[in-house]
Amino acid sequence: MTYRMTVSPDFSPDFIAGWYIFNTWLQNQLSEAIHLELFDSFDDQRKEIQEDKIDLIFANPYDASTLIRDKGFIAVAAPSGKADEAVICVGTDSDISCVEDLKENCNVSMADDPEVNTIGMIMLEPADLNKGNVNISELSNYVMVAKSLINQQSDVGFFLKESYDNMSKFIKSQIRPIIASEISVITHSFLVGPQLINRVDDIRKLLNDMHNLEKGPGVLASLGFEHWVNQEQEDAEFMIDLMDTLIT
């Protein structure tokens, strides 16, 4: 049997090759056939999840909720030092210096990243702004969000902090962060589906020892982090509870 693995579509394009390398490494370690399927959109991936076609997933906290509570997935690990944070930026020449400078009907650009967009909207709340009183443009990626700020089509833009950090110097010279989240507790997780339930302990041990195993550090470097940290089911459940508090 060939199992299917996927990755939340909000990962940085810089790490596409890394996920293929990781997939090969995992197949060798587990002696199981695993096909890596990457999706361009959250909708396409969620359709596959709903149809029970995914067995392993590096999931964002939003999808982790459905996967764990509705689909019986088990959390085994999270990347070390890679909490999901959001940054709100304006164009360099903007008059806006803090969130409270923003007014109703301002133009907000964002990518199709529900978690970042939720955190971003929370950071606009101190200015009495919400989805109902701002003009939202959902763009295809974070470079387009930056462009909308540079072209003055938007007043503010939301970025995944990792994506903002990885932007070119040229783009970063034309946008300016006004606030960054420091939430720390929200992170992507590696989840194992019901079809592989008998290999959960093996996968947990493998990932948590990965940085000590042959070729492990190199594979981890290609994913952009140094090691996995163990994530028990209760850790993931609590994170889902926290996400629930943010959706209000």
Partner 1 sequence: MTDIQLNYHDGTSDNRNVIDEEVPFPEGKLIVSRTDAKGVITHCNQAFVDISAFSESEIIGKPHHLLRHPDMPAAAFKDLWETIESKSKWNGYVKNLRKDGKYYWVYAVVVPNIRKGKVVGYASVRRKPSRTKIDECTELYKTMLAQENEQ
* 81 sits near partner 1 (criterion: CB under 8 A): no
The DSSP code for 186 is -
In the numeric block, which tokens belong to residue 90?
A: 């304006």
User: Site residues for partner 1, window 118-137 (CB under 8 A)?
Assistant: 122-123, 125-128
CB of 180 to partner 1, least distance (A): 5
- Is the CB of residue 104 less than 8 Å from the CB of residue 133? yes
At 62 the three-state DSSP class reads helix
3-state secondary structure 118-180: HHHHHHHHHHCCCCCCCEEEEECCHHHHHHHHHCCCCCEEEEEHHHHHCCCHHHHCCEEEEEE
- Interface with partner 1: number of residues (CB under 8 A): 23
**Near partner 1 by CB under 8 A: residue from 32, 101, 202, 237:** 237
Q: Between 55 and 155, whose beta carbon lies closer to partner 1?
A: 155
CB of 120 to partner 1, least distance (A): 11
Candidate segments 9-17, 73-81, 166-174, 182-190, binder of partner 1 by CB under 8 A: 182-190
**Near partner 1 by CB under 8 A: residue from 181, 187, 189, 231:** 181
What is the x/- site pattern for partner 1, positions 98-117, by CB under 8 A? --x-----------------
Strand ranges across the sheet with 107-111: 135-139, 107-111, 156-160, 86-91, 175-180
In the numeric block, which tokens belong to residue 33?
A: 């056939």
Binding site for partner 1 (CB under 8 A): 100, 122-123, 125-128, 179-185, 234, 237-238, 241-242, 244-246, 248
